[in-house]
Amino acid sequence: MLSIHTFAAAGADTDAVLEDIGRQIAESGAAPHFVINFFGCDHDAEKIRVFLGNRCPNAVFIGGTSNTGLMTDRALWEKDAIGVFAVEDADGQYGVAIDSIGDDPAATAEKALRVALENATCPGELPSMVFVYQAPGGEEEVLDGIRKVVGEGCPILGGSAADNDTSGRWRQISNAATTKNGLAIAVLFPSGEVSTAFQGGFEPAGPNGIVTRVVPDRFGKNRGHEVAEIDGRPAALVYDEWSNNMLGEKAATGGNVFEETSAHPFGVEAGDIDGVTNFILVHPVKATPEGGMITFAAIEQGARIHIMRGNRKRLAQRAGNVAAGAAERLPAGAKSLAGALLVFCAGCKRAIGDRMPEVARDVTANLGNRPFLCCFTFGEQGHISGKNAHGNLMIAAAAFGT
């Protein structure tokens, strides 16, 4: 029978934090088979990798850095925390792989997925879920690579590893290695059920337009991470008008707009997915001097783009609702919930600000005090109405049934 434990501790000294976590694991008597691990970017990833290998010898593990802390069923942790989500499941199969993303993220993802399936002793089989944790950038291509192997019918959940200040100190971790610009991937064949949920907590504010030009980047001709024009005009100017001049001077001069746009991301219509129209949120993080807007997620040229709105209260409640939604989707219902994993957008966390402790309490209550671990990321992947997608300012949740 599948069971889940979470362990966490915080502090500047990596060794001391790991010692604390080691003590917690020993006291729990847990002997996990699969581990997901998140940690602050100031910690030494290699030390954590070695620690997990020694402390959980029967487990495959995967994880990476989380923005300014993490969240568990016990607390909202500060930026120097390390958290462990440990799954005990002798009858399940789990496999992991890690690699540098390189120039062809789709090919890397495809290869890593096949290695992970082999590692799980389940080559050729459709997993219950794929979990990815990667360096920011190329998320859509990574999804494409995974789709090429398992199609669209397998839920993919994950996030883009985040540091505390977008300076590039993110890391990914697995049994075999730690990477800076890598992709860690896990395939899950748990003995219990898994269900997922993926949502943004924003609604269209009204103004919208067509993306008439993107700056193509290495990931595609007609899509890119810089929206140059909306309806034929500089994107930053259009956004500034839609948002009642939230960018101010930066609309003309350019600059970091990560915080200004957190409460008003772009929303791209995700199309018809099993009868439900969904918006994938795209977080603009920088304005360019040329009037373009650089986003965490790629946008297709020709897409209809909206400015979205949300309020702090609604954002604060969303994580609990998403977690509860995933748990309720378990075939045996939320009563069969063993624990949950959440991927929460760092931008949302920032927008919610000092109400985050309230979020932690709300998620805990919505999951019936079952163990959970939540990381804060620079991009989220989830399964939305039958399709896998990458978005920003989203919350993804996976509920594990016993």
Partner 1 sequence: MNGQEALRDALDRCRRENDALRTEVTHARTLLDALASLLLIDTREDPFFHVFESLHAVFGFEHAAAYTEQDPANLVCVAASLKDNVGSRWNAKTFLNRVLGGRVSATFDTKSIEEYQDLSQSVPRDRPALFIPLRVAGKRGLLALIKPAGAPGFDRKDVELAKRFSLLASHAMAACDNRRRLEENEVRAEAAEESNRAKSEFLASMSHELRTPLNAILGFSEIIAQECFGPVGSQRYKEYAGDIHASGAHLLSLINDVLDVGKIEAGKMEVAPAMLDAGSVFGSALKLIGTRAREKNQELTVCVQPDAPPLYADERALKQILVNLVSNAVKYTPPGGTITVSGRAGPDGAFLIVCTDNGPGIPPDKLARLFKPFSQVDNRFNRSEGGTGLGLSLVRGLTELHGGRAWLESEVGRGSSAYVLLPGAPTDLSQRAG
Rule CB under 8 A: say whether 107 interacts with partner 1. Answer: no
Tokens of 66: 């989380």
Q: Does 153 bind partner 1 (CB under 8 A)?
A: yes
Among 53, 102, 204, 333, binds partner 1 (CB under 8 A): 204
- Does 256 sit near partner 1 (CB under 8 A)? no
Supply the minimum distance, in Å, between the C-beta of residue 145 and partner 1.
14
Kindly state the tokens that stand for 288. Answer: 């360019």
Q: Is the distance from CB of 312 to CB of 350 less than 8 angstroms?
A: no
For residue 331, state whether it binds partner 1 (rule: CB under 8 A).
Answer: yes
Is residue 155 involved in binding partner 1 (CB under 8 A)? yes
Residue 80 or 193 having the CB closest to partner 1: 193
**Tokens at 402, concatenated:** 């016993």
Q: Which is nearer to partner 1, 125 or 165 (CB)?
A: 125
- What is the number of other CB atoms lying within 10 angstroms of the CB of residue 206? 10
Across 192-331, the runs of DSSP E, i.e. the strands, are 194-200, 203-215, 223-230, 233-234, 255-256, 266-273, 276-282, 284-287, 293-300, 304-309
Bridge partners (DSSP) of residue 184 are 98, 133
Each residue 60-99 as x (binds partner 1 by CB under 8 A) or -, in order, gives ---------------------------------x------
Total residues at the site for partner 1 (CB under 8 A)? 28
Q: For partner 1, which residue of 76, 116, 135, 154 counts as binding (CB under 8 A)?
A: 154
Nearer residue to partner 1 within complex by CB, 144 or 163: 144
Residues 296-325 that bind partner 1 (CB under 8 A): none
Nearer residue to partner 1 within complex by CB, 337 or 348: 337
Whose tokens are 């373009």? That residue is 292
Instruction: State the Cα torsion 189-275-343-160 to the nearest 10°.
Output: 90
Looking up tokens 């030390």, which residue turns up? 47
Q: Which residue number, 152 or 249, has a Cβ lying nearer to partner 1?
A: 152
Chain position carrying tokens 């783009």: 305
CA distances from 10 to 14, 25, 34, 70, 155 (A): 9, 15, 22, 10, 32
Minimum Å gap between C-beta 185 and partner 1 is: 16
Between β-strands 60-65 and 34-39, what pairing exists: parallel, antiparallel or unpaired? parallel
When asked if residue 152 is in the footprint of partner 1 (CB under 8 A), the reply is: yes
The footprint of partner 1 on residues 41-60 (CB under 8 A) is none
CA proximity to 64, closest of 102, 22, 96: 96
Residues constituting the chain = 402
Virtual CA dihedral for 353, 241, 225, 177, nearest 10 degrees? Answer: -10
Among 24, 28, 166, 208, binds partner 1 (CB under 8 A): 208
Which range in 9-17, 123-131, 133-141, 307-315 contacts partner 1 by CB under 8 A?
123-131
Rg (CA), the chain: 20
Nearer to partner 1, 83 or 192 (CB): 192
Q: Which residues bind partner 1 (CB under 8 A)?
A: 93, 117-118, 121-126, 128, 149-155, 189, 204, 206, 208, 272, 274-277, 331, 386
